[in-house]
Each structure stands twice: as structure tokens, then as C-alpha cells.
């Protein structure tokens, strides 16, 4: 099974240090919707694993988060593709949950959902915690320079073997060649 797992904010849509708090603030990164559609039309299953501590912080309700994910599915479907399982962690940093990245609970949930091994599965993120999450379950860490990606690159050495791309469109182009 061709499975790829994406972080959301900073990879699929623009991110903000003030969180993405409304449907209006949910703005796809140029090329990302098309990349997801192209991958899915080529037989890839595209899943999403996203921290959403804004829920626990009371910045936006679950209904707004669900509206954002419905919009994502809508936009990809308009391009003839589809989005697979979207898993979110609504908890805060102090809630001690098992799903908040860099804990790998969401990736494990995706692997179990599709009944596949996560070994070598590309996990595409923009932050260091995404890369850490990938390593925890033997996924292939992939960094994009969108969102917080440039900051992640500048901050510290990346895990050995991390693949680096400008954006999700470049990730898809590599996988589809
Ligand atoms: O990149 P993903 O996982 O899809 O989502 C990240 C968001 O949940 C938010 O995560 C927050 O981190 P804290 O949750 O406050 O540590 C901040 O980094 C925000 O800028 C960001 O929008
Ligand atoms: Mg992110
Ligand atoms: Zn959680």
C-alpha cells in the first residue's frame, strides 16, 4: 500500500503563530491541494496527523476544526482526488495524552487503521516535533520549507536521513516521477 502521512498546518495550509482559528484563516499553501489530489489519483493513500491544541486552549471549537477538514476534502475532491484518514490531537501540552506529537500515537492510529507497517512511510512535516514523531515509529522524516520549515532548518541539526523539499508539491513530484 502506498501510504503517505502529512502534518497539516505549515504543510497543507498556511500556519500562524496565532493558530489557525477559523475557516477563513484556513488557506491552502499553493500547490498543496493539487499535490494531494495527484498523489491520490496515482494510488497513494494520503492521511493527515495534526496537533490541534487550539481546541484545548479554547481558541476554536471542534466544529470549526471539522469545517476546515471538510473544506480540505472538498478542495481535493474538486481536483479529482481524495483525502484519507485525518487524525487530530485536540489536547494541550500538559494533558499527558498519547496522541500529541512528538508522541507517535496518531501515526500508530493511522497504521492500525490501514493495517500497515509504518516502517519507511513518509511523514511530511514543517516542525522538529514532526521529524521526532516520524523517528519514533520508523517513518521516513520529511521536512518541507513551508510553514515553520525554514525556522526548523535554521534552528538545529535535522535527524540523520531527513529528506528536505521546498513544499508539498515538490514531495509529490518526487513520488510521482
Ligand atoms: O502543524 P500541526 O501539527 O498540523 O498544527 C500545529 C498547530 O496546532 C499549532 O501548534 C502550535 O503549537 P502548540 O500546540 O501550542 O505547541 C503552534 O505551533 C501554532 O503556531 C500552530 O498553528
Ligand atoms: Mg505543522
Ligand atoms: Zn492528544
Residues whose CB falls within 8 Å of the CB of residue 58, separated by 6 or more in sequence, listed in order:
none
What pTM, to 2 d.p., does this model score? 0.98
Q: Give the pLDDT of the chain (177 residues) as one tens digit per residue.
A: 999 999 999 999 999 999 999 999 999 999 999 999 999 999 999 999 999 999 999 999 999 999 999 999 999 999 999 999 999 999 999 999 999 999 999 999 999 999 999 999 999 999 999 999 999 999 999 999 999 999 999 998 999 999 999 999 999 999 999
The H-assigned helical ranges of the chain are 32-41, 53-56, 62-78, 105-114, 128-136, 149-155, 168-176
How far is ligand 3, taken at its centre, from the CA of residue 102, in Å? Answer: 10
Domains of the chain: 3-176 (3.40.50.1000)
User: Which residues have any ligand 1 atom within 6 Å of their CB?
Assistant: 7-10, 15-17, 19-20, 50-54, 93
Q: Confirm whether the ipTM is greater than 0.95.
A: yes
Q: Please tell me the distance between residue 146's alpha carbon and the centre of ligand 3 in angstroms.
A: 24
Residues 144/124, Cβ–Cβ less than 8 Å = yes
Amino acid at each position: 500500500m502506498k501510504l503517505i502521512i502529512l502534518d497539516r498546518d505549515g504543510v497543507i495550509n498556511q500556519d500562524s503563530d496565532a493558530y489557525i482559528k477559523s475557516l477563513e484563516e484556513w488557506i491552502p499553501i499553493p500547490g498543496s491541494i493539487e499535490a494531494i489530489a495527484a498523489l491520490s489519483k496515482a494510488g497513494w493513500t494520503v492521511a493527515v496527523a495534526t496537533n490541534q491544541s487550539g481546541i484545548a486552549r479554547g481558541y476554536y471549537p471542534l466544529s470549526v476544526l471539522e469545517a476546515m477538514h471538510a473544506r480540505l476534502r472538498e478542495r481535493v475532491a474538486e481536483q479529482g482526488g481524495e483525502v484519507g484518514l485525518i487524525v487530530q490531537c485536540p489536547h494541550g501540552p500538559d494533558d499527558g495524552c498519547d496522541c500529541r506529537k512528538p508522541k507517535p500515537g496518531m501515526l500508530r492510529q493511522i497504521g492500525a487503521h490501514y493495517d500497515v507497517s509504518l516502517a519507511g512511510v513518509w511523514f511530511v512535516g514543517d516542525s522538529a516535533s514532526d521529524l521526532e514523531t516520524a523517528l519514533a515509529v520508523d517513518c521516513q522524516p520529511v521536512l518541507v520549507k513551508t510553514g515553520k520549515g525554514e525556522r526548523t532548518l535554521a534552528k538545529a541539526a535535522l535527524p540523520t536521513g531527513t529528506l528536505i523539499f521546498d513544499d508539498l508539491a515538490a514531495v509529490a513530484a518526487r513520488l510521482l516521477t
